[in-house]
Amino acid sequence: MIPAESVPAFEAFAARIMAAQDGFVATLMERGDLTRDDALAVFLKYRRAKAIKRDTTNNTWTVKHGALLDREVIRANVKD
C-alpha cells in the first residue's frame, strides 16, 4: 500500500479539510468567546452529533441550524 503522505493529492485534500476545520473553530472561538481547545471540543461534539456538515464545494463546515452558533448554545456545549 502506498503511504498517503507520498501522494500529493492526499496532502492537498488533507490540507483543505484542516483549513475548513480551522475556519470553523475560529468562528466558534469568536462567537462563543472560547479558547481554541474549548472551540475544538465544541466542533468535535457538533461533528459527532452530525449537527454540522462539510461543504466540499466551498471548503467550509456549515451548521444545520443557525441556533447552534448562538453564544449561549456554544458555551453550553463546552460545559457538557
Predicted confidence (pLDDT) at residue 47 exceeds the cutoff of 60: yes
Domain segments of the chain: what residues?
4-79
Averaged pLDDT, 8-20: 85
Q: What gap in Å lies between CA 74 and CA 79, rounded to an integer?
A: 9
For the segment 11-31, the average pLDDT, to the nearest whole number, is 92
Q: pLDDT (tens digit, 9 = 90+) per residue, 56-65?
A: 888 899 999 9
Match 453564544 to its residue by C-alpha cell: 71
For the entire predicted model, the pTM comes to 0.84
If you average pLDDT over every residue of the chain, what do you get?
89
- 11 CB contacts (<8 Å, ≥6 apart)? 4, 5
